[in-house]
Amino acid sequence: MAAAMPLALLVLLLLGPGGWCLAEPPRDSLREELVITPLPSGDVAATFQFRTRWDSELQREGVSHYRLFPKALGQLISKYSLRELHLSFTQGFWRTRYWGPPFLQAPSVWINLGRSSVMSSQGSSAPLSTSSTPPTQSLPLPPSNPWVWPMTLTTTFCAMLCCRGRWSAPKTSPPGRSSCPVVPRASLISFHLLQAGLSVLLKADRLFHTSYHSQAVHIRPVCRNARCTSISWELRQTLSVVFDAFITGQGKKDWSLFRMFSRTLTEPCPLASESRVYVDITTYNQDNETLEVHPPPTTTYQDVILGTRKTYAIYDLLDTAMINNSRNLNIQLKWKRPPENEAPPVPFLHAQRYVSGYGLQKGELSTLLYNTHPYRAFPVLLLDTVPWYLRLYVHTLTITSKGKENKPSYIHYQPAQDRLQPHLLEMLIQLPANSVTKVSIQFERALLKWTEYTPDPNHGFYVSPSVLSALVPSMVAAKPVDWEESPLFNSLFPVSDGSNYFVRLYTEPLLVNLPTPDFSMPYNVICLTCTVVAVCYGSFYNLLTRTFHIEEPRTGGLAKRLANLIRRARGVPPL
Amino acid sequence: MGLLSDPVRRRALARLVLRLNAPLCVLSYVAGIAWFLALVFPPLTQRTYMSENAMGSTMVEEQFAGGDRARAFARDFAAHRKKSGALPVAWLERTMRSVGLEVYTQSFSRKLPFPDETHERYMVSGTNVYGILRAPRAASTESLVLTVPCGSDSTNSQAVGLLLALAAHFRGQIYWAKDIVFLVTEHDLLGTEAWLEAYHDVNVTGMQSSPLQGRAGAIQAAVALELSSDVVTSLDVAVEGLNGQLPNLDLLNLFQTFCQKGGLLCTLQGKLQPEDWTSLDGPLQGLQTLLLMVLRQASGRPHGSHGLFLRYRVEALTLRGINSFRQYKYDLVAVGKALEGMFRKLNHLLERLHQSFFLYLLPGLSRFVSIGLYMPAVGFLLLGVGLASLVAPLLISQAMGLALYVLPVLGQHVATQHFPVAEAEAVVLTLLAIYAAGLALPHNTHRVVSTQAPDRGWMALKLVALIYLALQLGCIALTNFSLGFLLATTMVPTAALAKPHGPRTLYAALLVLTSPAATLLGSLFLWRELQEAPLSLAEGWQLFLAALAQGVLEHHTYGALLFPLLSLGLYPCWLLFWNVLFWK
C-alpha cells in the first residue's frame, strides 16, 4: 500500500545538498511554519507552509548551481520564461458553512480514481494558472499550444493533468495568462520528504485520515528592494489538512499534536532560517478562561484575519529552550468549558450548487448564494465553466433574491463549441443583505459519440465547481502590514482595504448523468445486426435471382397509326 | 420490397389465416396463458446472479454491534413521539447531531384532493429530518440513502433506533467514498415524496415544502427500512414501485447475498422460498409468489417508500421486519449487520447500478424471469387481437372516459351537498355511477349514428377498437408487464367475441365481467386467495371501494398512472366493444 500511496509532492526538493557551500553568504533562505486553527464546527485545520526564497535572476542568468531551490522548477522557469506558477491538488471539499472561509484560496474538487474504499478513494483536483511572457521566437514550443503546460507539469509533479477541450481564459483575467480553473480527475503520485523540522509531522497515513487535504505550489517573483531593481524567486509549498474532531478526538474537541499526527516535534530543520508553530487561541466570548494550551507559549501574536481579530500563540522551534529540555514538543489544547456546539457561526458568504430535475433529457443547474450579513449587501463575481455536452439555454437564466428578480450588473457569456471549448459564464451579482440568491439555468443533455464516453459512462460526467469571488465586509478594520516581517500565513489572506476582505469560494462539483447507450450488451448489437442482414439478404436475394422482362405496350399496326394521324388532323380523339 | 415477393403465395397465406382465424385466435390465447404458467419452471426461470463486479463478493467484515444502542434510541424515540403526538423533530435533530451528522429539517404541507379514509388524513403537514454523513476527502458528488418512513401511528420506532445506531457506527469509519443520508420522514410516503421533490427541486404533485438546506450530490441507491419490533423472524423485501417500476436486480441480489451470509430468513411477497425447483412443489409455490408480484406490480402503487425513489432513477428497495410466531428470532444486530454489509458494498460502486436487469418477474428471491422470456406470453395474447370510420362512438366513449377521470374529484362538493355521504364516499360513488352510466351509451350513440352508418359499420368499429386495444395493451406490457398481462388475459377473449348477433346476453355478461372495474374486483379476490386469507363478498366490496379511492388518491399525491390509464384509455376502449355488441 505504501508504494502506491498518493501523497505529496510536498517538500518536493527540500533536501538539497546543504551545508557544503557556506563559504559565501547564502543567497537563498527557507522559512517554515505551521498554523493550527480550531474551526467553528470543532474540527481542527493544520496548514503547513514552506517558503524558499532565492535571490537570483533565473530567467536571465545561466544558473546551474542550486541549493535550496528545486532544480526541476528552476529549469522550468528559465526554459519557458515563466512569470508565475500556481498549482494545487485538493482532495475533499472545503465546507464553508461549517468551517468558515477557506484559508488557502484553493479550489476544491476531488476526483475519485480508485473510488473503492479506504486508501484507494483518491483523487485530486488541480487548479492551475500559469502566466508566461509574450511569445518570442526563441521559445522551444509556442505557448499558444494549450498542452505544453500540462505535459511539462505532468512530468515534474508526477501528476496526471488533462483538460477536456481548450483551456479557457475568463474575461476578467489579465491577458497572456492561461488557466484551467479546475481539472477534475487529476491524480498524483509522488513522494519525497525530508524528515526534519515541521515536516516530521507529515506522516502519510495520518494525513489521509483527514476530512480535507490540499497541497499547492506557488512560484512567483518578488522584489528585492523597494524600487524593484532586481527580483528574487519565491517558492511556496503549502499543505492544509482538516482533522475530523469526531473521529480523531472521539467527540471531544481537545487536540494535541500527537493525537493528530501521531508524531511530535523533535528538532528544528537545520536548513530553515525560521521554524514556527502558530496556534489560534482566539476565544469567541469575552471570558478568557475557556481554553488552555500546553506548554504555555512564550509569545503571542494578534492580527486581523478574514475580518475578525485573532490571537495566536507562537512556538519557535529555533528557540533552544523550546525543544532542548525534553527533545519533544507536543502542543496540546484543552477546552475548559466546551464551546456551545449547537450553532456554529455561519460565514457571511457561502454557496451551494446542485442539479435539479430528473430524467435524462433536461436538467437545471442551480446555485444558491447565501449572504448572511445582517445589514450589508455586497457584489459577487460568479464564474461558471460548463462542459459543452450540457447544452445551456441562456434565455432560461434566472437570478432571484428574496422572491424578486435580481439583474446582474455584468454578464459575459461565451458559448461552447462542440468538442472544443466549454461554456463560460461570468456574472457580477449584487447580493442583498441577509438573503439567499438563486441562480439557475436549464440545460439539455447531449448525446455523445460512442467513442467519447469514458470507460465508466454510467458513473456520470463531472461539471466543475463555480468560482465565487467577493469582497466581504469585515467586522474589524485591518491595517496594512509589512509582508516580509509578518508570519507567512498572512499572505494567504489578501486584504484589499480596511473594511473588506477578499474571499474566493468554490462550490461543489456536480455529477451529471448523460444518456448512455447500453455498452454492456454486445448481444443486442449482434441481434440487431443479424436482423438487418436477414431482412436485406432476403430482399436482395429475391431481387437478384429473378429475371425481368419489360413488356412493351402494344402499339398496333401501320393502319391504326395512319388512322390516328388522320383523326388527329380532324380533331377527333385517337383510337 | 413487398412488391417483389410472389403475390400468389402471399394470397394463399392470407386465405389460410382467414380461414383458420377462430382456431388460431383460441390457440394463441391458450399458448399465451400456457407460456405464462410455464415461466416458473426451471428452463424459463433462471438463477439470479450478481452482474456488478464492484459488488461481487461479500468479503466485508461487518462490525456493527450497536443492538443495545438501537433499542435505547428506539425507546427514547417512541417515548418522545408519544409525548409530542407527532414526529419528535427536536429530539431527532439533537440525537443525529450527537452522533456526528450534519442535520437538516424540511417542513411540507399538502392538501389532498379529498379525505383519505384509510390513513385518516386530509390536510397534511409535517417535517422530515435528515442527517448527512460526509465522506472524508470526497466532494459530495454521490450519496446513498437510508430512509425510515414514519406513519401517523407509532410503529417503525425500532427502525428509527436502528437507523440512528447505524449512523453512529458508520460515522466512526473512514472508508466511506460516498455521503450517506439518514432520512426520517413523517406521514410515510407523503413525506418521502416531499423530500425527493425538494431534493431534486421539482414539483410534480403540487406539494408545498420548504427548500432543502443540505444536499449530497447524485443519489446512487436507497434502502427503506420498516421495523416494528425488537426481534424479527424474517425480513420481507418489497421491490414494486410507482407505476410498476422495479429496481435493478443487482440490488435485490445484494440483499439476498447478505441475508444468506448472515443466515437471515428472507421472504418475498411474504412467502418463504421454495428449496427444491426440480419437483412440482417448488414451481407451484413459485407461481403463487409470481402471481402475487404480478398483482402488486399491476396495481402501480408504490409498495413502500422505496417506490417513490425509482422515478428519480435511484435504485431502491424496502426491507420489512416481520415478527411472526416462528421459534427462531433475530435481533437488531443481525439486521444492522446486513444493512452495514449492503451499504459497504454500495459504497464500492463505481457506476450507477446498471449491469443487471430492470425488467423482470420474481417467482422467488433466488430465481427470476427476464423480459426476453416473459414477453412471448403477452405477445401470444395480443396476436389474438391482431388476427381478429366511425367517429361518433369513438368520441363519445372518449368523452365518457374524460368525465370518469375529471368529474369524481371535481364534483365531490356537489355530491356531498345533495346526498348524505362523505367526500371520499362521494368520489367513489360518482366514479361507479359514471362508470355504470357508460353502459347506457349504445342507446344514445345510435340516435346520432344510425342514419348514416352502413349496415356492416359494426365491423369497422370493432376493427378500430381491436387495433386500439392491441396498441394500448402492447404499450402497457412494455412498461408494466404485470398490468398488461392481467388486462390482456381478461379483455382479449371477450373483445374478440363481441358482435351484434348470437347470444347477446351471454356476450354482454362476459363483457361486463371482463371490464376493467370487474378485473380489479376479481384481482382483489385472487390476491386474498393467494395470501390464503379469502374474502367474503361484502368484505370484497368494501375493499373494492377502498381500492378505488386509493387509486384516485395515489394519482393525485404521487402521480401514479393507473387511474388515468384506466379511465382515459381502457375504459373508452371497452365501451367501444360494448357499442359493437349492441349495434342495431
Pick B171's closest partner by Cβ from A246, A357, A456. Answer: A246
Which of A493, A514, A488 shows the shortest CA–CA distance to A504? Answer: A493
DSSP β-bridge partners for residue B128: B106
pLDDT of residue A62: 67
pLDDT of residue A105: 55
Quick one: average pLDDT of B194-198?
94
**Chain B closest CA to A171's CA: distance in Å?**
28
Distance, CA of B216 to CA of B180 (rounded, Å): 8
Q: How far is CA B401 from CA B322, B555, B571, in A?
A: 41, 16, 6
DSSP three-state, residue A486: coil
Quick one: average pLDDT of B455-471?
81
B446 touches chain A (CB under 8 A): no
What percent of chain A stands above pLDDT 70?
Answer: 69
Q: How far is CA A23 from CA A20, A29, A52, A309, B403, in A?
A: 8, 15, 20, 44, 101
Cβ neighbours of residue A148 closer than 8 Å, sequence gap 6 or more: A80, A141, A142
Contact B350 A115 (CB under 8 A): yes
Indicate whether B369 pLDDT > 70.
yes
Cα-Cα-Cα-Cα dihedral sign, residues B221, B224, B230, B235: negative
A249: closest chain B residue by CA:
B172
Distance, CA of B424 to CA of B414 (rounded, Å): 13
Do B133 and B103 form a contact (C-beta atoms < 8 A)?
A: no
Do A20 and A261 form a contact (C-beta atoms < 8 A)?
A: no
Beta strand extents in B378-484 (DSSP E only): none
Grid coordinates standing for A196?
Answer: 526534519
- A118 vs B110: which has the higher pLDDT: B110
Contact B200 A209 (CB under 8 A): no
Neighbours of B539 (CB within 10 A): 14
> Which residues of B fall within a CB distance of 8 Å from A358?
200, 202, 311-313
Beta strand extents in A133-174 (DSSP E only): 159-160
Cβ neighbours of residue B407 closer than 8 Å, sequence gap 6 or more: B430, B434
- Tens of pLDDT, residues B430-439: 888 888 888 7
Q: How far is CA A554 from CA A44, A534, A550, B492, in A?
A: 103, 40, 12, 54
DSSP H/E element including A440 = strand A435-445
pLDDT of residue B316: 95
Backbone region of residue A11 per phi and psi (left: phi > 0; alpha: psi in -120 to 50; beta: other values) = left
- Tens of pLDDT, residues B504-541: 888 888 888 888 889 999 999 998 888 888 888 888 88
The confidence band for B128, taking pLDDT boundaries of 50, 70 and 90, is: very high
The confidence band for B156, taking pLDDT boundaries of 50, 70 and 90, is: confident
Contacts 24+ apart (CB under 8 A), B21-27: B21/B387, B21/B388, B24/B387, B25/B383, B25/B384, B25/B387, B25/B388, B25/B496, B26/B384
Contact A509 B218 (CB under 8 A): no
Buried b (16+ CB within 10 A) or exposed e, B346-370: bbbbbbbbbbbbebbbbbbbbbbbb
Task: Give the amino acid at A516.
Answer: T
The confidence band for B199, taking pLDDT boundaries of 50, 70 and 90, is: very high
Quick one: average pLDDT of B554-580?
88
pLDDT of residue A257: 86
The cell 417483389 sits on which residue? B4
Which of A287, A110, A296, A367 shows the shortest CA–CA distance to A215? Answer: A110
Find which of A39, A94, A117 to mutate to test the B interface (most B CBs within 10 Å of its CB): A117
> How far is the first Cα of chain A from the last one, in angstroms, to the nearest whole number?
100
Across chain B, what does the average pLDDT equal?
86
Ordered DSSP codes for B235-304: EEEE---GGG----HHHHHHHHHHHHHHT--EEETTBPPPS-SSSSHHHHHHHHHHHHHHHHHHTT--SS
Distance, CA of B24 to CA of B38 (rounded, Å): 20
pLDDT of residue B334: 92
Task: Give the amino acid at A165.
Answer: G
pLDDT of residue B347: 93
Grid coordinates standing for B405?
Answer: 377521470
- Tens of pLDDT, residues B211-232: 998 999 999 999 999 998 888 9
Minimum mean pLDDT range among A11-20, A119-128, A285-294, B411-420:
A119-128
What percent of chain B stands above pLDDT 70?
Answer: 93
B177 touches chain A (CB under 8 A): yes
Indicate whether B57 pLDDT > 80.
no
Find which of B1, B132, B141, B348 to mutate to test the A interface (most A CBs within 10 Å of its CB): B141
> How far is the first Cα of chain B from the last one, in angstroms, to the nearest whole number?
43
Greatest Cα-to-Cα distance within chain B, rounded to the nearest angstrom: 85
- B259 vs A476: which has the higher pLDDT: B259
Size of interface A-B (CB pairs under 8 A): 119
DSSP β-bridge partners for residue B230: none
Across chain A, what does the average pLDDT equal?
73
The cell 386465405 sits on which residue? B15
Quick one: average pLDDT of B344-353?
91
Which of A278, A241, A166 shows the shortest CA–CA distance to A8? Answer: A241
Buried b (16+ CB within 10 A) or exposed e, B455-487: eebbeebbebbbebbbebbbebbeebbbbbbbb
Indicate whether A73 pLDDT > 70.
yes
DSSP β-bridge partners for residue B47: B367
pLDDT of residue A438: 94
Grid coordinates standing for A220?
Answer: 512567483
Cβ neighbours of residue B437 closer than 8 Å, sequence gap 6 or more: B400
**Chain B closest CA to A496's CA: distance in Å?**
30
- Tens of pLDDT, residues A425-446: 999 999 999 999 999 999 999 9
Quick one: average pLDDT of A78-97?
79
Do A126 and A87 form a contact (C-beta atoms < 8 A)?
A: yes
Distance, CA of B110 to CA of B105 (rounded, Å): 17
pLDDT of residue A155: 63
B312 touches chain A (CB under 8 A): yes
Contact A509 B350 (CB under 8 A): no
pLDDT of residue A280: 86
- Tens of pLDDT, residues A534-550: 888 888 888 888 877 77
Question: What's the DSSP call for residue B134?
Answer: P
> Which residues of A fall within a CB distance of 8 Å from B201?
354, 356-357, 364, 366
Cα-Cα-Cα-Cα dihedral sign, residues B58, B63, B68, B70: negative
Question: What's the DSSP call for residue B439?
Answer: G
B59 touches chain A (CB under 8 A): no
Sheet containing A332-335, strands listed edge to edge, beginning at the edge strand earlier in sequence: A255-256, A332-335, A291-294
Distance, CA of B36 to CA of B251 (rounded, Å): 25
Distance, CA of B275 to CA of A298 (rounded, Å): 76
Neighbours of B204 (CB within 10 A): 13
Following CA atoms A386, A388, A393, A394 in sequence, which dihedral angle do they give, to the nearest 10 degrees? 50
Residue count of chain A: 575
Contact B141 A212 (CB under 8 A): no
Question: How many Å separate Cα A181 from the centre of its chain?
Answer: 6
> Which residues of A fall within a CB distance of 8 Å from B177?
112, 115-117, 121
Cβ neighbours of residue A197 closer than 8 Å, sequence gap 6 or more: A32, A267, A268, A269, A270, A272, A275, A317
Pick A511's closest partner by Cβ from B137, B175, B217. Answer: B217
> Which residues of B fall within a CB distance of 8 Å from A247?
171-172, 174
Which of A559, A333, A115 shows the shortest CA–CA distance to B139? Answer: A115
CA angle, A452 as apex, A448 and A454 as ends, to 5°?
Answer: 110
Helix axes B371-387, B21-38, angle to 10 degrees: 160
DSSP β-bridge partners for residue A35: A47, A278
Do A143 and A80 form a contact (C-beta atoms < 8 A)?
A: yes
The confidence band for A107, taking pLDDT boundaries of 50, 70 and 90, is: very low
Ordered DSSP codes for A365-396: EEEEEEE--SS--EEEEEEEEE-TTEEEEEEE
- A501 vs B134: which has the higher pLDDT: B134
Do A374 and A433 form a contact (C-beta atoms < 8 A)?
A: yes
Neighbours of A568 (CB within 10 A): 11
Contact A356 B218 (CB under 8 A): no
Contacts 24+ apart (CB under 8 A), A254-258: A254/A332, A254/A333, A254/A334, A254/A335, A255/A38, A255/A44, A255/A332, A255/A333, A256/A330, A256/A331, A256/A332, A256/A333, A257/A201, A257/A329, A257/A330, A257/A331, A257/A332, A258/A330
Residue count of chain B: 584
> Which residues of A fall within a CB distance of 8 Å from B1?
539, 542
Backbone region of residue B230 per phi and psi (left: phi > 0; alpha: psi in -120 to 50; beta: other values) = alpha
pLDDT of residue A393: 94
**Chain B closest CA to A108's CA: distance in Å?**
8
Indicate whether A492 pLDDT > 80.
no
The confidence band for A136, taking pLDDT boundaries of 50, 70 and 90, is: very low
Beta-strand pair A378-386/B121-133: unpaired
Quick one: average pLDDT of B251-259?
92
Quick one: average pLDDT of B118-138?
89
Indicate whether A319 pLDDT > 80.
no
Indicate whether A380 pLDDT > 90.
yes
B5 touches chain A (CB under 8 A): yes
pLDDT of residue A187: 43
